[in-house]
């Protein structure tokens, strides 16, 4: 059975995890936008060809 | 080597760029890689690389706002890895 | 624009194909039991050299970068090298698919000297017993000899293309080793019930359990293995395999057949999927851009009976050709649906009642022709 302290700890951990994810998103934003600008596809990667 | 604002680049001579409604298709005849340039701005930049001294001046001339430059640098780095663009060769 | 929306753009069709398949002839020196084009005998209406060059001019103007040449056996055409050279000279890269019978030492050297050329040797078994049961006696030796000749001529990397059947699923590792031995790239591709493939599809196509094996093998070992995106119906099993994961027929690819007919893809040589003919006014470009068939394929397709299935986004309802030639409706599950959703419908279709290919160029059966041995597996 979880103690109140364990529960509070869990919420602190969750908050910092969320902050970490947001931090990662901000840092990755240029990379995400770069993905939007180009996409590589294999010349063999389309169905309907020998 | 990854691309920076001071890089001097050109489209690889074995690459053909075919316009599409949403950007362009780039095909490298040598390594057979096929890459979609998914935004008209990146197409304009890639096709203008040879006309300007470096990446930074190309981006400015093509009207790309500075806050977008990191994503264009990342895209150009990726295109360099695929050999679609390369360091500009000096003709001898 | 997200990755998904790129695929949505492609489904709407492009102004020109990205690549396409061009079958140069229905003539062939082999009689593979599963031949998708029912090849064997030349059709007297075959395109002339001049007509073929006109097609290449059109493709050049459309900026098609690369074509897959096949047949039948494309090397039986007297103008084979002439057309290869014309294509490459016009900026169109070529991959040709061959059984290897005509790649002797001299041809291998000639091919090795050409640029922007890729070769794909067909092989359906890692030993003569498995391979020849499907492709005919001597065909294994033919293919291996071609590979040896290409290697000796320093051609560089060629492809080995395998149609996956019930009898060679267990050989995937060995196929990879064979390709590695020749410095070749392995390609495995889905068997469709197209052409003569319809006759033995029920006995030859992989079982449900084997489909899972193929999928798992591709996830684990498939990094450098090509598939022609032909296994996207297996994406319903989990993480998607590399590729566009969509049917390209009429949207980004198509087929030009030996008499100039244009079909949505090489696996649907049937009037239902015929878009036009390159000999018609406007040539290939007009067929690609304006044919009723292709325009309709570029409309959003209905999920139909698959609409309520959670896997539809991944599998896209599978392959048109597989559904059509097994007698299933196009707006429903694929005959090899991994969820078994087509099993009941398939069980009530009378064999022989399914749509037949529009043409059959098979050579007449002779008494000496070996029949498929169903027990070829080991």
Nearest CB neighbour to A40, from listed B34, B70, B71:
B34
How many whole angstroms separate alpha carbon C275 and alpha carbon C151?
40
- Return the structure tokens found at C238: 């989990």
Task: Tell me whether A48 touches chain C (CB under 8 Å).
Answer: yes
Task: Tell me whether C297 touches chain A (CB under 8 Å).
Answer: no
Contact B71 A34 (CB under 8 A): yes
CA distance to partner chain A, nearest, from residue B92 (Å): 32
Whether the complex's predicted ipTM surpasses the cut of 0.90: yes
Contact C118 B39 (CB under 8 A): no
Note the pLDDT tens digit of each residue in B30-67.
999 999 999 999 999 999 999 999 999 999 999 999 99
CA distance to partner chain A, nearest, from residue B30 (Å): 12
Q: What is residue A20's predicted lDDT score, i.e. its pLDDT?
A: 52
Which of C168, C189, C186, C167 shows the shortest CA–CA distance to C177?
A: C186
Instruction: Count Cα atoms within 13 angstroms, Cβ side, for C216.
Output: 8
Contacts of the segment C77-81: beta carbons below 8 A, 24+ positions apart: C77/C24, C77/C25, C77/C27, C79/C49, C79/C52, C80/C24, C81/C110
CA distance to partner chain C, nearest, from residue A16 (Å): 29
How many whole angstroms separate alpha carbon C37 and alpha carbon C23?
9
Contact A34 B38 (CB under 8 A): no
Task: Tell me whether A46 touches chain B (CB under 8 Å).
Answer: no
Which of C99, C101, C24, C100 shows the shortest CA–CA distance to C55?
A: C24
- Return the structure tokens found at C146: 């071609």
Q: Please confirm whether the linkage preceding C284 is cis (ω < 30° from 0).
A: no
Task: Tell me whether B32 touches chain A (CB under 8 Å).
Answer: yes
Could you tell me the CA-to-CA distances from C335 to C199, C228, C322, C366 in Å, in that order?
15, 19, 7, 32
User: CA-based angle C334:C339:C345, to the nearest 5?
Assistant: 50
Which residues of chain A lie closer than 8 angstroms to C246, CB-CB?
46-47
The residues in B 41-70 lying below 8 A from A, measured between CB atoms, are 42, 68, 70
Which of C28, C40, C97 shows the shortest CA–CA distance to C67?
A: C97
- Return the structure tokens found at C234: 């297996």
Q: What are phi and psi of C40, to 5 degrees?
A: 160, -55
Nearest CB neighbour to B16, from listed C6, C9, C65:
C65
3-state secondary structure of C160: strand
Alpha helices in chain B (DSSP H): 40-48, 55-61, 69-81
Contact A38 B70 (CB under 8 A): no
CA distance to partner chain C, nearest, from residue A44 (Å): 5
Q: Which residue ranges form the domains of chain B, and what is each CATH number? A: 9-82 (3.90.930)
Q: Would you tell me how many other CB atoms lie within 10 Å of the CB of residue A7?
A: 10
Helix (H) or strand (E) holding C40: none
Which of C66, C72, C155 shows the shortest CA–CA distance to C119?
A: C155
How many whole angstroms separate alpha carbon C193 and alpha carbon C185?
25
SS (H, E, C) C273-326: HEEEECCCCCHHHHHHHHCHHHHHHCCCCCCHHHCCCCCHHHHCCCCHHHHHHC
Q: DSSP state, B79?
A: H
Q: Return the partners of chain B (3 or more C-beta pairs < 8 Å).
A: A, C
Question: Under 8 Å CB-to-CB from C296, ≥6 apart: which residues?
Answer: none
Alpha helices in chain C (DSSP H): 3-11, 49-61, 80-89, 105-112, 128-135, 139-152, 172-181, 197-204, 208-221, 283-290, 292-297, 312-315, 320-325, 343-347
- Return the structure tokens found at B77: 């780095």
Task: Tell me whether B18 touches chain A (CB under 8 Å).
Answer: no
- Return the structure tokens found at C346: 């398939």
Note the pLDDT tens digit of each residue in B8-26.
999 999 999 999 988 999 9
- Burial (CB count within 10 angstroms: exposed 0-12, middle 13-18, buried 19+), residue C344: exposed
How many whole angstroms separate alpha carbon B73 and alpha carbon C50?
47
Contact A38 B79 (CB under 8 A): yes
Contact A47 C247 (CB under 8 A): yes
The residues in A 12-41 lying below 8 A from C, measured between CB atoms, are 35-36, 39, 41
Task: Tell me whether A36 touches chain B (CB under 8 Å).
Answer: yes
Task: Tell me whether C213 touches chain B (CB under 8 Å).
Answer: no
3-state secondary structure of B58: helix
Q: Which of C230, C234, C315 would you mutate first to test chain A, the one with the most A CBs within 10 A?
A: C230
Q: What is the pLDDT along chain C (378 residues), one digit of tens a residue?
A: 444 478 888 999 999 999 999 999 999 999 999 999 999 999 999 999 999 999 999 999 999 999 999 999 999 999 999 999 999 999 999 999 999 999 999 999 999 999 999 999 999 999 999 999 999 999 999 999 999 999 999 999 999 999 999 999 999 999 999 999 999 999 999 999 999 999 999 999 999 999 999 999 999 999 999 999 999 999 999 999 998 999 999 999 999 999 999 999 999 999 999 999 999 999 999 999 999 999 999 999 989 999 999 999 999 999 999 999 999 999 999 999 999 999 999 999 999 999 998 899 999 976 544 554 444 443
């Amino acid at each position: 059975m979880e103690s109140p302290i364990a529960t509070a700890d869990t919420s602190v951990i969750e908050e910092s995890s969320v902050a970490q994810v947001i931090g990662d998103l901000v840092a990755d934003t240029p990379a995400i936008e770069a993905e939007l600008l180009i996409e590589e596809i294999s010349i063999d990667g389309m169905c309907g060809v020998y | 080597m990854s691309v920076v604002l001071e890089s001097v680049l050109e489209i690889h001579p074995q690459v053909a760029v075919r316009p599409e409604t949403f950007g362009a298709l780039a095909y490298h005849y040598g390594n057979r890689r096929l890459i979609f340039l998914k935004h008209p701005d990146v197409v304009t930049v890639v096709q203008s690389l040879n006309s300007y001294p470096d990446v930074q001046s190309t981006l400015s001339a093509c009207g790309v706002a500075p806050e977008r430059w990191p994503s264009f640098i990342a895209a150009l780095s990726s295109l360099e890895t695929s050999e679609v663009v390369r360091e500009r060769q000096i003709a001898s | 624009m997200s990755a998904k929306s790129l695929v949505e753009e492609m489904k709407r069709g492009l102004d020109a194909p990205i690549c396409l398949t061009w079958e140069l002839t229905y003539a062939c020196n082999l009689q593979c039991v599963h031949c998708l084009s029912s090849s064997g005998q030349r059709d007297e209406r075959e395109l002339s050299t001049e007509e073929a060059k006109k097609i290449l001019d059109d493709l050049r103007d459309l900026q098609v970068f690369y074509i897959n040449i096949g047949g039948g056996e494309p090397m039986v055409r007297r103008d084979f090298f002439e057309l290869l050279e014309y294509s490459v000279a016009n900026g169109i890269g070529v991959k040709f698919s061959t059984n290897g019978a005509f790649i002797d030492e001299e041809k291998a050297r000639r091919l090795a000297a050409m640029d922007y050329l890729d070769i794909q040797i067909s092989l359906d078994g890692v030993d003569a017993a498995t391979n020849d049961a499907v492709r005919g006696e001597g065909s294994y030796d033919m293919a291996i000899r071609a590979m040896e000749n290409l290697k000796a001529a320093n051609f560089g990397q060629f492809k080995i293309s395998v149609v996956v059947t019930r009898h060679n699923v267990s050989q995937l590792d060995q196929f990879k080793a064979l390709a590695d031995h020749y410095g070749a790239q392995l390609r495995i591709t889905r068997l469709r019930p197209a052409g003569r493939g319809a006759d033995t599809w029920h006995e030859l196509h992989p079982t449900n359990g084997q489909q899972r094996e193929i999928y798992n093998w591709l996830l684990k070992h498939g990094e450098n293995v090509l598939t022609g995106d032909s296994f996207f119906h297996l994406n319903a099993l989990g993480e998607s395999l590399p590729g566009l994961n969509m049917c390209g027929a009429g949207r980004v690819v198509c087929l030009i057949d030996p008499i100039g007919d244009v079909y949505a893809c090489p696996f649907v040589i049937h009037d239902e999927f015929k878009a036009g003919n390159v000999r018609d006014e406007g040539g290939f470009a007009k067929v690609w851009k304006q044919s009723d068939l292709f325009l309709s394929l570029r409309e959003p397709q209905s999920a139909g009976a698959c609409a309520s299935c959670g896997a539809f986004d991944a599998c896209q309802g599978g392959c048109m050709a597989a559904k059509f030639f097994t007698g299933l409706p196009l707006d429903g599950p694929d005959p090899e649906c991994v969820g078994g959703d087509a099993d009941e419908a398939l069980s009530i279709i009378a064999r022989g009642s399914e749509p037949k290919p529009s043409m059959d160029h098979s050579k007449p059966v002779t008494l000496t022709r070996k029949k498929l041995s169903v027990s070829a597996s080991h």
